[in-house]
Structure 1
Amino acid sequence: MIIQKEFTLTPHRRGFHLITEEIVRNLPQLPPTGLLHLFIKHTSAALTINENADPDVQTDMEAIFNNLVKEREPYYEHTCEGDDDMPAHAKSTIVGAELTIPITNGRMNMGIWQGIYLCEFRNRGGGRKIVATIIG
Protein backbone atom coordinates (compact mmCIF):
# COMPACT_ATOMS: atom_id res chain seq x y z
CA MET A 1 0.00 0.00 0.00
CA ILE A 2 1.23 3.46 -0.94
CA ILE A 3 -0.77 6.57 -0.08
CA GLN A 4 0.25 10.10 -0.91
CA LYS A 5 -1.22 13.33 0.39
CA GLU A 6 -0.19 16.93 -0.17
CA PHE A 7 -1.10 19.67 2.30
CA THR A 8 -0.08 23.19 3.24
CA LEU A 9 1.32 24.08 6.66
CA THR A 10 0.11 27.09 8.57
CA PRO A 11 2.42 30.02 7.71
CA HIS A 12 5.18 30.60 10.25
CA ARG A 13 7.55 33.47 10.87
CA ARG A 14 11.24 32.92 10.36
CA GLY A 15 12.68 30.39 12.79
CA PHE A 16 12.46 26.76 13.88
CA HIS A 17 8.89 25.60 14.55
CA LEU A 18 7.74 22.34 16.12
CA ILE A 19 5.09 21.01 13.70
CA THR A 20 4.71 17.37 14.74
CA GLU A 21 1.05 17.76 15.72
CA GLU A 22 0.22 19.70 12.56
CA ILE A 23 1.78 16.93 10.47
CA VAL A 24 -0.20 14.25 12.36
CA ARG A 25 -3.48 16.20 11.89
CA ASN A 26 -2.94 16.24 8.13
CA LEU A 27 -2.10 12.55 7.71
CA PRO A 28 -4.58 9.79 6.95
CA GLN A 29 -4.65 6.80 9.29
CA LEU A 30 -1.22 5.20 9.32
CA PRO A 31 -0.75 1.47 8.67
CA PRO A 32 0.43 -0.85 11.47
CA THR A 33 3.99 -0.82 10.10
CA GLY A 34 5.73 1.04 7.32
CA LEU A 35 7.44 4.29 6.46
CA LEU A 36 6.34 7.90 6.36
CA HIS A 37 8.25 10.09 3.95
CA LEU A 38 7.82 13.88 4.22
CA PHE A 39 9.03 16.23 1.49
CA ILE A 40 8.87 20.04 1.56
CA LYS A 41 8.33 21.58 -1.88
CA HIS A 42 10.44 24.69 -1.28
CA THR A 43 14.06 25.81 -1.59
CA SER A 44 14.08 28.32 1.28
CA ALA A 45 12.69 26.14 4.08
CA ALA A 46 13.55 22.68 5.40
CA LEU A 47 12.43 19.81 7.62
CA THR A 48 14.37 18.27 10.47
CA ILE A 49 13.91 16.20 13.62
CA ASN A 50 15.23 17.61 16.88
CA GLU A 51 14.42 17.98 20.58
CA ASN A 52 10.75 18.69 21.27
CA ALA A 53 10.89 19.56 25.00
CA ASP A 54 12.86 22.76 25.57
CA PRO A 55 11.87 25.79 23.44
CA ASP A 56 15.40 27.17 23.89
CA VAL A 57 16.44 24.62 21.26
CA GLN A 58 14.38 26.52 18.68
CA THR A 59 15.96 29.86 19.62
CA ASP A 60 19.47 28.40 19.68
CA MET A 61 19.05 26.66 16.30
CA GLU A 62 17.94 29.95 14.73
CA ALA A 63 20.98 31.73 16.21
CA ILE A 64 23.36 28.98 15.07
CA PHE A 65 22.09 29.04 11.48
CA ASN A 66 22.11 32.86 11.33
CA ASN A 67 25.73 32.74 12.47
CA LEU A 68 26.68 30.00 9.98
CA VAL A 69 25.04 31.67 6.97
CA LYS A 70 24.92 35.45 7.26
CA GLU A 71 22.81 37.89 5.28
CA ARG A 72 24.23 40.58 2.96
CA GLU A 73 27.55 38.88 2.27
CA PRO A 74 29.39 40.82 -0.47
CA TYR A 75 29.96 37.68 -2.56
CA TYR A 76 26.23 36.84 -2.98
CA GLU A 77 25.06 37.31 -6.55
CA HIS A 78 21.45 36.15 -6.08
CA THR A 79 20.16 39.22 -4.21
CA CYS A 80 17.04 40.35 -6.11
CA GLU A 81 14.58 38.64 -3.72
CA GLY A 82 15.76 40.23 -0.47
CA ASP A 83 18.53 39.89 2.06
CA ASP A 84 17.07 36.70 3.53
CA ASP A 85 16.66 34.81 0.24
CA MET A 86 20.14 33.52 -0.67
CA PRO A 87 20.94 32.61 2.94
CA ALA A 88 17.60 30.75 3.05
CA HIS A 89 18.60 28.66 0.03
CA ALA A 90 21.95 27.79 1.59
CA LYS A 91 20.38 26.89 4.96
CA SER A 92 17.79 24.72 3.22
CA THR A 93 20.56 22.83 1.44
CA ILE A 94 22.37 22.24 4.74
CA VAL A 95 19.29 20.89 6.55
CA GLY A 96 17.46 19.15 3.70
CA ALA A 97 14.03 18.86 2.13
CA GLU A 98 12.91 15.44 3.35
CA LEU A 99 12.48 13.11 6.30
CA THR A 100 11.75 9.40 6.51
CA ILE A 101 10.18 8.15 9.74
CA PRO A 102 9.36 4.52 10.62
CA ILE A 103 5.76 3.64 11.41
CA THR A 104 5.20 1.16 14.23
CA ASN A 105 1.80 0.19 15.68
CA GLY A 106 0.10 2.81 13.51
CA ARG A 107 2.19 5.73 14.84
CA MET A 108 5.37 7.55 13.92
CA ASN A 109 8.15 5.74 15.76
CA MET A 110 10.25 8.62 17.06
CA GLY A 111 12.11 9.02 20.32
CA ILE A 112 10.32 10.54 23.30
CA TRP A 113 12.25 13.81 22.94
CA GLN A 114 12.04 14.01 19.13
CA GLY A 115 9.77 16.29 17.16
CA ILE A 116 9.40 17.37 13.54
CA TYR A 117 10.49 20.92 12.83
CA LEU A 118 9.76 23.32 10.03
CA CYS A 119 12.90 25.36 9.50
CA GLU A 120 11.55 28.59 8.05
CA PHE A 121 14.46 30.57 6.67
CA ARG A 122 12.54 33.44 5.03
CA ASN A 123 11.11 36.41 6.89
CA ARG A 124 7.78 35.84 5.14
CA GLY A 125 7.78 32.32 3.74
CA GLY A 126 4.03 31.77 3.68
CA GLY A 127 2.28 28.41 3.81
CA ARG A 128 4.73 25.65 2.97
CA LYS A 129 3.59 22.65 0.92
CA ILE A 130 4.36 19.16 2.23
CA VAL A 131 4.05 15.88 0.32
CA ALA A 132 3.51 12.94 2.68
CA THR A 133 4.03 9.46 1.23
CA ILE A 134 3.01 6.51 3.38
CA ILE A 135 4.34 3.09 2.54
CA GLY A 136 2.92 0.19 4.48
Structure 2
Amino acid sequence: MKQAQTIFDIHTKGQGLYEFTREVTFWAGQQAIVRGLLTLFIRHTSASLTIQENADPDVQYDLNNFFRRVVEENPSLYRHTCEGPDDMPAHIRSALTDVQLSIPMVHGSLALGTWQGIYLFEHRAMAHDRQVVAHLLGE
Protein backbone atom coordinates (compact mmCIF):
# COMPACT_ATOMS: atom_id res chain seq x y z
CA MET A 1 0.00 0.00 0.00
CA LYS A 2 1.12 3.51 -0.84
CA GLN A 3 -0.03 6.74 0.73
CA ALA A 4 0.29 10.34 -0.35
CA GLN A 5 -0.89 13.61 1.15
CA THR A 6 -1.02 17.23 0.10
CA ILE A 7 -2.90 20.42 0.92
CA PHE A 8 -4.73 22.44 -1.70
CA ASP A 9 -4.84 26.17 -0.95
CA ILE A 10 -7.92 27.74 -2.49
CA HIS A 11 -8.61 31.47 -2.47
CA THR A 12 -12.29 32.39 -2.63
CA LYS A 13 -13.84 35.74 -3.50
CA GLY A 14 -17.04 35.27 -1.50
CA GLN A 15 -20.03 32.95 -1.66
CA GLY A 16 -20.02 30.48 -4.48
CA LEU A 17 -18.67 27.24 -5.84
CA TYR A 18 -14.98 27.05 -6.77
CA GLU A 19 -14.00 24.11 -8.92
CA PHE A 20 -10.61 22.53 -8.31
CA THR A 21 -11.04 19.22 -10.14
CA ARG A 22 -8.09 19.85 -12.45
CA GLU A 23 -5.65 20.41 -9.57
CA VAL A 24 -6.83 17.29 -7.70
CA THR A 25 -6.77 15.14 -10.85
CA PHE A 26 -3.27 16.28 -11.75
CA TRP A 27 -1.92 15.64 -8.24
CA ALA A 28 -3.60 12.23 -7.92
CA GLY A 29 -2.25 11.19 -11.31
CA GLN A 30 1.30 11.97 -10.19
CA GLN A 31 1.12 9.53 -7.26
CA ALA A 32 1.47 6.26 -9.24
CA ILE A 33 -1.50 4.69 -7.51
CA VAL A 34 -3.58 2.53 -9.85
CA ARG A 35 -6.46 1.70 -7.50
CA GLY A 36 -7.31 3.22 -4.19
CA LEU A 37 -9.31 5.89 -2.44
CA LEU A 38 -8.84 9.63 -2.34
CA THR A 39 -10.18 11.48 0.67
CA LEU A 40 -10.59 15.26 0.58
CA PHE A 41 -11.22 17.13 3.85
CA ILE A 42 -11.83 20.85 4.26
CA ARG A 43 -10.32 22.43 7.37
CA HIS A 44 -13.07 24.99 7.92
CA THR A 45 -16.56 25.19 9.44
CA SER A 46 -18.03 27.85 7.17
CA ALA A 47 -17.21 26.27 3.81
CA SER A 48 -17.75 22.77 2.46
CA LEU A 49 -16.98 20.36 -0.36
CA THR A 50 -19.27 18.94 -3.00
CA ILE A 51 -19.22 17.01 -6.24
CA GLN A 52 -21.51 18.66 -8.75
CA GLU A 53 -22.14 19.10 -12.44
CA ASN A 54 -19.40 21.15 -14.08
CA ALA A 55 -20.91 21.54 -17.57
CA ASP A 56 -23.66 24.11 -16.99
CA PRO A 57 -22.92 27.16 -14.76
CA ASP A 58 -26.65 27.44 -14.05
CA VAL A 59 -26.23 24.52 -11.64
CA GLN A 60 -23.89 26.55 -9.42
CA TYR A 61 -26.15 29.61 -9.71
CA ASP A 62 -29.21 27.59 -8.68
CA LEU A 63 -27.37 25.92 -5.77
CA ASN A 64 -26.27 29.29 -4.40
CA ASN A 65 -29.79 30.69 -4.68
CA PHE A 66 -31.31 27.60 -3.07
CA PHE A 67 -29.04 27.82 -0.02
CA ARG A 68 -29.72 31.57 0.32
CA ARG A 69 -33.46 30.80 0.48
CA VAL A 70 -33.16 27.81 2.81
CA VAL A 71 -30.74 29.45 5.27
CA GLU A 72 -31.52 33.14 5.64
CA GLU A 73 -28.86 35.69 6.53
CA ASN A 74 -31.01 37.36 9.15
CA PRO A 75 -29.15 38.09 12.43
CA SER A 76 -32.43 38.09 14.41
CA LEU A 77 -32.65 34.32 13.80
CA TYR A 78 -29.32 33.41 15.43
CA ARG A 79 -27.40 33.86 18.67
CA HIS A 80 -23.97 33.40 17.03
CA THR A 81 -23.57 36.66 15.09
CA CYS A 82 -20.19 37.97 16.29
CA GLU A 83 -18.54 37.60 12.86
CA GLY A 84 -21.34 39.15 10.84
CA PRO A 85 -24.77 38.27 9.46
CA ASP A 86 -23.38 35.56 7.16
CA ASP A 87 -21.43 33.70 9.87
CA MET A 88 -24.06 31.40 11.42
CA PRO A 89 -25.80 30.80 8.09
CA ALA A 90 -22.40 29.71 6.71
CA HIS A 91 -22.03 27.19 9.55
CA ILE A 92 -25.54 25.83 8.89
CA ARG A 93 -24.89 25.53 5.14
CA SER A 94 -21.66 23.68 5.89
CA ALA A 95 -23.52 21.30 8.23
CA LEU A 96 -26.06 20.58 5.46
CA THR A 97 -23.38 19.75 2.93
CA ASP A 98 -20.08 17.83 3.21
CA VAL A 99 -16.72 18.59 4.80
CA GLN A 100 -15.22 15.36 3.45
CA LEU A 101 -15.41 13.54 0.11
CA SER A 102 -14.24 10.07 -0.91
CA ILE A 103 -13.43 9.38 -4.56
CA PRO A 104 -12.20 5.99 -5.82
CA MET A 105 -9.11 5.71 -8.02
CA VAL A 106 -9.72 3.24 -10.86
CA HIS A 107 -7.00 2.36 -13.38
CA GLY A 108 -4.92 5.32 -12.17
CA SER A 109 -7.67 7.95 -12.56
CA LEU A 110 -10.31 9.46 -10.33
CA ALA A 111 -13.61 7.68 -10.91
CA LEU A 112 -15.58 10.87 -11.50
CA GLY A 113 -18.47 10.82 -13.93
CA THR A 114 -18.41 12.75 -17.21
CA TRP A 115 -20.02 15.91 -15.83
CA GLN A 116 -18.78 15.70 -12.24
CA GLY A 117 -16.47 18.30 -10.79
CA ILE A 118 -14.97 18.78 -7.32
CA TYR A 119 -15.94 22.08 -5.70
CA LEU A 120 -15.17 24.07 -2.63
CA PHE A 121 -18.50 25.62 -1.60
CA GLU A 122 -17.75 28.98 0.05
CA HIS A 123 -20.55 30.03 2.38
CA ARG A 124 -19.12 33.34 3.61
CA ALA A 125 -19.66 36.66 1.82
CA MET A 126 -16.05 37.85 2.02
CA ALA A 127 -12.93 36.40 0.43
CA HIS A 128 -11.17 33.62 2.33
CA ASP A 129 -8.10 31.43 1.99
CA ARG A 130 -9.25 27.84 2.44
CA GLN A 131 -7.32 24.60 2.83
CA VAL A 132 -8.36 21.18 1.60
CA VAL A 133 -6.29 18.21 2.79
CA ALA A 134 -5.97 15.33 0.32
CA HIS A 135 -5.02 11.81 1.36
CA LEU A 136 -4.64 9.09 -1.27
CA LEU A 137 -4.32 5.47 -0.21
CA GLY A 138 -3.91 2.58 -2.63
CA GLU A 139 -1.65 0.38 -4.68
C-alpha contact 2:44 2:130 (8 A) present in aligned 1: yes
Write the distance in 2 (CA, Å) between the matches of 1:25 and 1:62. Answer: 27
Of 119, 125, 128, which residue of structure 2 is paired with 1:117?
A: 119
Alignment partner, residue 5 of structure 1: 6
C-alpha contact 1:14 1:121 (8 A) present in aligned 2: yes
Of 47, 50, 55, which residue of structure 2 is paired with 1:48?
A: 50
Amino acid at match of 2:9: T
Write the distance in 1 (CA, Å) between the matches of 2:28 and 2:137. Answer: 13
Write the distance in 1 (CA, Å) between the matches of 2:50 and 2:67. Answer: 13
Identity across matched positions, percent: 45
Alignment partner, residue 91 of structure 2: 89
Q: Which one is further off, 62-71 or 9-18?
A: 9-18
Amino acid at match of 1:29: Q
The alpha-carbon deviation at position 74 of structure 1 amounts to 1.9
Aligned residues: 136
C-alpha contact 2:29 2:109 (8 A) present in aligned 1: no
Normalised TM-score (structure 1): 0.92
Alignment partner, residue 14 of structure 1: 15
Normalised TM-score (structure 2): 0.90
C-alpha contact 2:47 2:121 (8 A) present in aligned 1: yes
**Deviation by residue 1:43-86 (Cα, 9 ceiling, x = unmatched):** 00000011110000010000000001000152300001001110
C-alpha distance 41-125 of structure 1, shift in aligned 2 (>3 A): farther
Write the distance in 1 (CA, Å) between the matches of 2:40 and 2:47. Answer: 13
**How much is the aligned-residue C-alpha RMSD, in angstroms?**
1.5
Write the distance in 1 (CA, Å) between the matches of 2:47 and 2:106. Answer: 28
- SS at 2:22's partner residue? helix
Structure 2 stretches lacking a partner, 5+ long: none
C-alpha contact 1:17 1:58 (8 A) present in aligned 2: no
Structure 1 stretches lacking a partner, 5+ long: none
Write the distance in 2 (CA, Å) between the matches of 1:57 and 1:134. Answer: 28
Alignment partner, residue 60 of structure 2: 58
C-alpha contact 1:9 1:22 (8 A) present in aligned 2: no
C-alpha contact 1:34 1:102 (8 A) present in aligned 2: yes
